[in-house]
Structure 1
């Protein structure tokens, strides 16, 4: 497959309008920038990596998206491992290399084994148990389009309605990011380094 060229150029800080700079600062100086960095938010020219560069195309929508993403990453009741499992399940279904690479780095820091990561890529939740198993199975059901009654009651009983709401929202948010990454041809570093790779493939 021929290599796809990115359809937009991520702006350098000195190219931004005031509302774009506010969004840039919210991403690079906000919650995401605190603590260990498992993937770089900006490149060596200060341009935003991944989907964030295209958030600048519409600063008002981009600000809402980045705020939602930060809330989903840092303010839900989902345990950290369950959250990353859910994100990686979305990445697997959406064939989003950038999401997969970025969040596998976080997952490894949380103790995921390589076998577990490979299982998620296959949408195989059998290595997991308890809350993680339930979250994985729930995400796959949501990606199929709905949560049946039995699955709903199981999730409600074990997670609670608040966390189910947060999980449904997380699946929608990361599916949106995967779509944006595809449409704007945003590659991961792994994809960029591969001469024969397309714009979003799953491994």
Structure 2
């Protein structure tokens, strides 16, 4: 890890406000993965948000909005997030959102399909549309004319806007997780790099 975890007692007032919004906010209500370690430090991408509280606070608010204040269904959201995790090879996103997806009722076959990009695990047309769109956005950063028309006609433009925002947000987190070498809980080797095998 390139960034030691901030401890609650080390935080200034601005950092503490961001910390509290994460540790005591909507994410903390029944989270399927651990947000705070045994010493009170924030897990995953949230620790880095304390480096610059004005920006980190805005970023966590955006994350809260894309998770809890959109018309995207839980299934659609987790399909998209786990697609980003696969494309970006983000171990922490995969760890966290496989737990969220499983808690939301995804089957082991579906979770495995998202891990390996196996579209056959999603025969339902609504799921498949979100998977195809998320893959295009995460891999190419754009939609073809046909893909855009399909998204517009089946999801509507407001939901497409939500989906592109969600993809962009989780790509941002994947970049920060990679740069700061944030590992999943229990997956640090002696050099401090992620070693957990998700294959």
Query: TM-score band, normalised by the shorter chain?
Result: over 0.9
Tell me the distance in 1 between the aligned counterparts of 2:88 and 2:193. Answer: 14
Distance 1:95 1:202 in 2: 10
- Work out whether 1:177 is the aligned partner of 2:163: no
Once the two structures are TM-superposed, the CA of residue 190 in structure 1 deviates from its matched residue by 4.9
**Equivalent in the alignment of 1:28:** 23
Greater RCO between the two (CA within 8 Å, min separation 6)? 1
TM-score by length of 1: 0.91
Unaligned runs of 5+ in 2: none
Distance 1:77 1:152 in 2: 18
Structure 2-normalised TM-score? 0.93
Q: CA RMSD in A?
A: 1.7
Which of 34, 50, 62 is residue 44 of structure 2 equivalent to? 50
Rounded Cα–Cα distance in structure 2 between residues aligned with 1:168 and 1:17: 34
Looking at structure 2, the residues matched to 69 and 21 of structure 1 have their Cα atoms a distance apart, in angstroms, of 18
Matches of 2:151 and 2:191, distance apart in 1: 42
Determine the C-alpha separation between the residues in 2 that align with 1:56 and 1:90.
Answer: 24
Aligned residues: 196
Q: Residues 148-184 of structure 1: CA distance to partner in whole angstroms, max 9, x if unpaired?
A: 1100010111111010000001111101101101100
Q: Distance in 2 between matches of 1:75 and 1:120?
A: 24
Deviation at 1:199, TM superposition (A): 3.1
Q: Which runs of 5+ in 1 are unaligned?
A: 1-5
Structure 1 contact 78–163 (Cα < 8 Å) conserved:
yes
SS at match of 2:9: helix
Partner of 1:19: 14
